[in-house]
């Protein structure tokens, strides 16, 4: 798995197209969200703001995009403040250089953990946290489902809600804060180490 993070204007156009097609497959076709498509691609107004994207490929040489994430500063337009303000429950929307919003996470990889995130998803979370910390970010905010919230808590990340979950389209949605602190980074390190250990055990078992 190869992960890269960069601003929209610096990403290869083919990779961008593949990313938007992945989002269409995941959000429109699989999750059945009520969102428009443009030439089989899911694109919204926030994509015009030159955001950072995480692009996940199966290898550095492979053009096929199997995962993506979008990063927006809370000092400008973002989904929590301008698309889902009801999830703030009357609280002011975050607006700070050290707080970023995560949105449009999608991944197409074998799911190897029926009770939590796949190894690829944990690696993606680990990578995006490390990238943000390197940029001086102290907190993520995100709109997600109650199911994903439970998995984040089970993973051990330091999360908190802005308020109760609400029905948004077909999803039960909630707005979360994710603190980028020692608790979160330690939880991710433990998860990565556990996956490495399990992979080594499976490899050793295959040798017999």
The pLDDT score that the predictor gives to residue 109 is 78
Residues constituting the chain:
208
* Contact (Cβ atoms closer than 8 angstroms) between residue 173 and residue 38: no
Rounded CA separation 108/114 (Å) = 15
Q: What is the DSSP letter of 41?
A: B
Q: What is the pLDDT along the chain (208 residues), one digit of tens a residue?
A: 899 999 999 999 999 999 999 999 999 999 999 999 999 999 999 999 999 999 999 877 777 899 999 999 999 999 999 999 999 999 999 999 999 999 999 999 765 554 578 889 999 999 999 999 999 999 999 999 999 999 999 999 999 999 999 999 999 999 999 999 999 999 999 999 988 877 677 555 444 4
* Contact (Cβ atoms closer than 8 angstroms) between residue 179 and residue 139: yes
The pLDDT score that the predictor gives to residue 60 is 75
Helix (H) or strand (E) holding 59: none
The pLDDT score that the predictor gives to residue 200 is 73
Tokens 């996956």 label which residue?
195
The pLDDT score that the predictor gives to residue 206 is 45
The pLDDT score that the predictor gives to residue 129 is 98
Instruction: Please list, in sequence order, all residues whose beta carbon lies within 8 angstroms of the beta carbon of residue 124, skipping any fewer than 6 positions away.
Output: 3, 54, 56, 67, 69, 105, 107
Rounded CA separation 9/5 (Å) = 12
Question: Which domains are seen in the chain, by residue range?
Answer: 2-206 (3.40.630.30)
Rounded CA separation 208/198 (Å) = 16
Rounded CA separation 116/190 (Å) = 14
The pLDDT score that the predictor gives to residue 201 is 74
Rounded CA separation 101/103 (Å) = 7
């Amino acid at each position: 798995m190869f992960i890269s993070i960069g601003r929209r204007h610096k990403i290869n156009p083919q990779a961008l197209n593949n990313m938007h097609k992945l989002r269409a497959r995941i959000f429109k076709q699989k999750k059945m969200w009520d969102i428009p498509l443009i030439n089989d691609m899911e694109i919204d107004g926030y994509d015009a703001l030159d955001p950072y994207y995480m692009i996940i490929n199966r290898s550095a040489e492979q053009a096929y995009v199997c995962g993506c994430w979008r990063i927006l500063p809370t000092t400008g337009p973002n989904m929590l403040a301008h698309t889902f303000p009801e999830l703030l429950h009357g609280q002011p929307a975050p607006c700070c250089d050290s707080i970023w919003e995560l949105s449009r996470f999608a991944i197409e990889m074998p799911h190897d953990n029926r009770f939590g995130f796949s190894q690829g998803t944990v690696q993606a979370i680990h990578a995006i946290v490390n990238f943000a910390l390197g940029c001086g970010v102290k907190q993520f905010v995100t709109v997600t489902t109650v199911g994903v919230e439970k998995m984040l808590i089970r993973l051990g990340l330091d999360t908190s809600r802005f308020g109760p979950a609400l029905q948004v389209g077909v999803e039960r949605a909630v707005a979360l804060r994710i603190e980028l602190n020692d608790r979160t980074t330690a939880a991710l390190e433990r998860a990565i180490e556990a996956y490495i250990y399990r992979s080594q055990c499976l490899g050793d078992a295959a040798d017999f």
